[in-house]
Amino acid sequence: MNEVKGSAGLPDTLVFRLGTLGAVVGDRFAGRIERLDLKPKHVGLLTALGQGSFASQQDLAGRLGVAPSLVVSLADHLESLGALRRVRDPQDRRRQVLTLTDRGHELLAACTAEATTLDGELTAHLDEPERRALHATLGSLATRAGLSTA
């Protein structure tokens, strides 16, 4: 395979850098929320539910782009922590609607606090305009990739 002269190769690509940084940051976040008996995928489900709309397990699977069986498994664990409740949809008894409990809101707030602290640690060497630019750029990339940044 021919490598372009003057190029440092894969480590210089944005894809490699974002992927590597994402893995490191993801591991750090996972370590911080482990004490809450949560994993990042649990936090993803809490976040989706915390956005205010009631959703069925099937709807959530579609919104999160995961298999319905994963949502069921994550919801089982969150239910065991008292973080969510399942209620039969009165219009369709086959549907289980998930809602956050007060405990779920507390866990989501704790995860947000951990993420905010980690944000500060990761960007401590940046000045405020650099932090804003990084946040805006990552938001733009996420939006173009079809990810919600809300």
Regarding the domain delimited by 30-144, which CATH topology (the fold level of the hierarchy) does it fall under?
Arc Repressor Mutant, subunit A (1.10.10)
pLDDT, residue 101, reads: 95
Beta strand segments in the chain, E: 55-56, 84-89, 92-100
Residue 55: band (very low, low, confident or very high) from pLDDT cuts 50, 70, 90: confident
pLDDT, residue 123, reads: 96
Q: Where are the domains of the chain?
A: 30-144
The full DSSP string for 42-66 is HHHHHHHHHTS--EEHHHHHHHHTS
Q: How confident is the model over 116-144, as a mean pLDDT? A: 95
% of the chain residues with pLDDT over 90: 69
pLDDT digits (tens, 9 = 90+) for 83-126: 999 988 888 888 888 999 999 999 999 999 999 999 999 999 99
- What does pLDDT average to over the chain? 90
